[in-house]
Homo-oligomer: A and B are copies of this chain.
């Protein structure tokens, strides 16, 4: 065995695969048990051999990965298992190959792994959505100057702003759930490519492993990667959305903005510069979004080969679980950040009061009230704003007189606004109160929307919890079967010697 493979193949091939063995170990154990159950039920394996195999599989299940013997010198992950099993029970280990390729075992394991990884990400996303929706309610009356191009645009609230991130996250959770539905289907029994000659019950192995159904076409079942791309694209987009929020918060936490700061637990501070609170969490999330974009690119690029090429999937074994885990970490981090954020309402309002975010509302008011055309209204308001700014005034300090004066300059006649109470279009709070249309910033609208979002987030979490329980129940049941079958183990000692392994 030793020396069978060139050192550079071990290093550049098997070691790359075996580095992912810890991610697949649990799934491989379950896949092997379920396969063996089906073989036994259909009389394709002698009962004694089956009992011995169940025993070594239970042993595998109890053995920590680091002690298991995943060693690139022996080949890839599955070879290492064969080596161990045949070392323990000799030729009986070979029965695991009946009606199944090595490749199938690993890919079933990948799906078992990914369904948990996806659940974790979905739960993290639902956690973010719930936290942000709750904060949207809490800040539904915390006013700020919303911006485009980072320039003050119109008055809004921090609650309305925050809720804008919840909607895309909920949509990505739907995409991730579709990804989970794809992942949680069974390729078991698909054979090497064309199906198999033995009477293998594909539905049974799917049920044993808790899959939602069987992937019909056997060659498709072996090689499909489309759902990996779909799930990773959704995960990446989710973190890109969170990165947008993180970048905003980084800016708003700057000394010059001072609108908010992160909780102590999400910042890094300095003994010497105690006023400096580095929002480290936000940097990390932005970087994680960038890394995930590269991971998705890599996955797609690796998929672009002729068909039935194993590299298209071998690299997914490690890339997918690691990328999903990174996404889940970033998502939990942003959920924490949002839940812990400290907003300086005064600073936000102060900036809003110093701004001219009323201009659009004033213009629309003028058109409705003063019977002038839109263009003229624009020019009048613009002139009044320019004049006020030059005098160091803010938008709140505009008056009917000032507008009339501007109208005189621009249009040659006043608008009749002198002395009129314009507070409904000058007070940012009053302006926000008019945003009662669908999805607008008015506090009641935001609160109601946020509650609906919260309910959707809760429903996602409940669904994830239900699935998680189901997966755990399947796992327990499988191990239970294995224990019962292994108990029939006959007393013959296992063959001690290590045999050359068998490859497909």
A146 with B193, Cβ < 8 A, contacts A293-B304, A297-B294 known: yes
> Could you tell me the distance in whole angstroms from the C-beta of A397 to the nearest C-beta in chain B?
13
Residue-wise interface mask of A (221-257) relative to B, using a CB-CB cutoff of 8 A (1 in contact, 0 not): 1011011011001101100110111011011011111
Q: What's the minimum C-beta distance from A59 to chain B, rounded to whole angstroms?
A: 20
- Of residues 120 through 154 on chain A, the ones whose CB sits less than 8 Å from some CB of chain B are 145-154
In the complex, which residue of chain B has the Cβ closest to the Cβ of A45? B374
Determine whether A449 belongs to the interface, using a CB cutoff of 8 Å to chain B. yes
The binding surface of chain A is classed by DSSP as helix
Residues in B with CB closer than 8 Å to A280 are 9, 13, 149, 310
* A367 interface residue per 8 A CB criterion: yes
Q: Which residues of B contact A243 (CB under 8 A)?
A: 304
A489 part of interface (Cβ distance < 8 Å): no
Given A8-B332, A12-B332, answer yes or no on A287-B302 (Cβ-Cβ < 8 Å): yes
Stretch at the interface among A108-116, A415-423, A432-440, A458-466: A432-440
- Quote the shortest CB–CB distance from A434 to chain B (angstroms): 4
Among A30-38, A209-217, A467-475, A480-488, the stretch that binds chain B is: A209-217
State the 9 A-B residue pairs at the shortest beta-carbon distance, nearest first. Answer: A294-B298, A195-B440, A287-B311, A6-B265, A12-B333, A94-B375, A233-B233, A194-B441, A290-B302
When all copies of this chain in the complex are counted, the total is 4
Q: Is A51 an interface residue (CB 8 A)?
A: no
* B151 x A274 contact (CB < 8 A): no
Q: By the criterion CB–CB under 8 Å, are B340 and A382 in contact? A: no
Contact yes or no, A315 B336, CB < 8 A: no
Interchain Cβ contacts under 8 Å between A and B, 14 examples = A16-B326, A98-B364, A146-B308, A148-B308, A156-B193, A167-B224, A203-B438, A230-B233, A237-B300, A237-B303, A251-B306, A268-B503, A294-B298, A295-B298
